[in-house]
Amino acid sequence: MQTNLGSSILNEKLRFRSVLTGVPDRPGHGRYIEVNGGEGSLQGTASEQSGPGKEDSWFVNTDSIQVLYQTKYPDASEAIVTRMIMYAKDDHSNPELWKRETWHRDTVVRERDGAVLGDECRHTTAVYPGRGGARDGVIVSDEKLPELPLNTRQHSSLTLWNIVQ
């Protein structure tokens, strides 16, 4: 059974995919492109024909939020689309410890019928020694949230890109 959320995410995916596949292939780079739109960009990879073994993954980037779309094929007949809305906040106030908080909402949709297979919001905090590197971090908290907290600017960015919240 197709849900409004599942249907909306699939429509977003198709809209952004058509933009990415509408540009010529760059030798050695595939269809990796960046389209700047004043209020962010669309960048990623979309194969000319989607299907098993093809790469479909892209981001909508704004100054306040990032949205990832990824299509995977657990088997040859079933496409699963994941949309992740995310943002982060860094704290460098302590020179001995860098802290990063990340909020994200992951929604998993079966492409065949738009069924939502999963929809979860989380808040994670990680700490890194000194200036830190991504591999040196330790997750100190990871909690499930009832919904993704968004500020007015983030809501506006999603609305501008016509992304369902």
Q: What is the pLDDT of residues 84-112, one digit of tens each?
A: 999 999 898 888 888 899 999 999 999 99
* 111 inside domain: yes
User: Which amino acid appears at position 109 of this protein?
Assistant: V
* 72 inside domain: yes
Residue 60 near residue 39 (C-beta atoms within 8 A): no
Provide the domain count of the chain: 1
User: Which amino acid appears at position 96 of this protein?
Assistant: E
* 23 inside domain: yes
* 39 inside domain: yes
Give the lowest-confidence range in 29-33, 42-46, 93-97, 153-157: 29-33
pLDDT at residue 115 greater than cutoff 50: yes
Give the pLDDT confidence of 38-52 residue by residue, as tens digits: 678 888 877 777 888
With pLDDT > 70 as the criterion, what percentage of the chain qualifies?
86
pLDDT of amino acid 1:
46
* 125 inside domain: no
Residue 47: both structure tokens together: 């194969």
Residue 107 near residue 117 (C-beta atoms within 8 A): no
Mean pLDDT comparison of 11-15, 37-41, 75-79, 106-110, highest-scoring range: 106-110
* 96 inside domain: no
Name the residue among 111, 120, 100 with its Cα closest to residue 7: 111
If you average pLDDT over residues 5-30, what whole number do you get? 81
Residue 16 near residue 161 (C-beta atoms within 8 A): no
* 54 inside domain: yes
pLDDT of amino acid 26:
65
pLDDT of amino acid 10:
94
Task: Please give the Cα distance from 79 to 50 (Å, whole number).
Answer: 9
* 112 inside domain: yes
Task: Please give the Cα distance from 78 to 59 (Å, whole number).
Answer: 22
Q: Where in the sequence is the domain holding 155, given as residue range(s)?
A: 4-84+105-118+148-160
Question: Cα–Cα distances in Å, from 98 out to 28, 89, 101, 140?
Answer: 37, 11, 10, 12
Tell me the three state secondary structure of residue 34.
Answer: strand
pLDDT at residue 152 greater than cutoff 60: yes
Angle, CA of 80, 74 and 162, to the nearest 5°: 15
